[in-house]
Amino acid sequence: MNLNHLTIQEQTIIRQIIHETNKKNIDNVSRTEAYFTYFKKNPDIIWSFLASMVSRNGGWNMCDLEGHIFPHLLAEKVRKQLFLTYERANWLIFHDVFPQLLLYQYSTKINRPMFHLLPYFHVSSFIQNEWQRYWINNDKERLTRALIINEQNVIHTPVIEHPVYKKKVFHSMIFSFQDWLHFSCVLFPTCGGEVYGASVNGFRSLSKRINLGKRLASILFHPRLFPYFLEFAEKTAHTGSRYDYEKYFKHKTVRRTPVLRATFPVIEHHKHSYEDWSLERRVSPVWLYFPARHRHPIHLTDWYFKKSHQLQLMLSLYQVLQLKKWE
């Protein structure tokens, strides 16, 4: 879009936001830190804390691929493809949402909405309207739901429905198996060694991912639990290793997953085309107005240990079968 008809001040704001977004959108660690730093400066935008905690899980999932189990079960090519899928979704969401967050922050500083600049960042018309609404109504819950809806739609076509990712990842046997067993789980740890969260089942479904986001928000901001999650985030630097929260467990564990920056390279991403998903897809009233539904317990400490044992059992069984093959 042409910037020439904008004021010098507006052009400067856009360039600064693009520069700041690119600087922070380097890898999973920088994104996680950027979301949390933003939340501390703008605590009314509660979605940014949710994004930070979910981003931690993205890092843990990446590092699991090079941990003590998956290198034995998955070929290097498959692990690389899974890493690139996590990384692409991570990057796309940040690329889309961080300019929105920075523009809101700037608007609060000058006490004047600057959302007329949002189209210059190629964000959906749906979320443009929601920021305008939030400025007037200050409805935090609605904005949080709107951001969850927007970001899941942002990744749906270029990642979930992308022919390469669809074939090699989301329709692969290992992904279906992981999905069925609920191994993919978004976890919110505490410094007391407890784990809360929700499992990701039916990840390919847009509505299920949005419902998951709403469930996670209701857990994270539960009045009794929120202070414990905030304490964990403030005390624990994000490295990508599951040891970040396993070190708080009452049963002492050794580090079994590596740190992200010592394991994966920085990936260069590009976005060549921009499509407004909200012109193609209708926003379901269920997404925006209906509260989260919890069908399973949210306290997952015991569940976590049980699933860890199941994974270990899978590895042992696989190793036995491999040995028998060579006999």
Digit-by-digit pLDDT tens for the chain (327 residues) are 777 789 999 999 999 999 999 999 999 999 999 999 999 999 999 999 999 999 999 999 999 999 988 898 888 988 898 899 999 999 999 999 999 999 999 999 999 999 999 999 999 999 999 999 999 999 999 999 999 999 999 999 888 776 665 566 655 556 555 544 445 689 999 999 999 999 877 777 899 999 999 999 999 999 999 999 999 999 999 999 999 999 999 888 889 999 999 999 999 998 777 889 999 999 999 999 988 888 889 999 998 888 888 878 878 887 777 665 555
Helix (H) or strand (E) holding 244, with range, is helix 243-246
Q: Domain count for the chain, please give it.
A: 1
For residue 2, is it within any domain? no
Q: Is residue 64 in some structural domain?
A: yes
Tell me how far apart the alpha carbons of residues 221 and 39 are, in angstroms, rounded to a whole number.
13
Structural domain contains residue 3:
no
| Residue 285 to residue 287: CA distance in whole angstroms | 5
Phi, psi angle pair for 188, to nearest 5°: -120, 105
Does the residue 301 lie in any domain? yes
Helix (H) or strand (E) holding 197: strand 195-199
Domain that includes residue 230, residue range: 8-326
What torsion do the CA atoms of 287, 101, 188, 75 make, to the nearest 10 degrees?
A: 90
Calculate the dihedral angle through the C-alpha atoms of 95, 146, 14, 27, rounding to the nearest 10 degrees. -20
Task: Retrieve residue 71's tokens.
Answer: 């290198």
Residue 229 lies in a domain: yes
Closest CA to 216 of 115, 148, 128, 138: 148
The verdict on residue 1 lying in a domain is no
Q: Is residue 195 part of a domain?
A: yes
Q: How far apart are CA 1 and CA 5, in angstroms?
A: 10
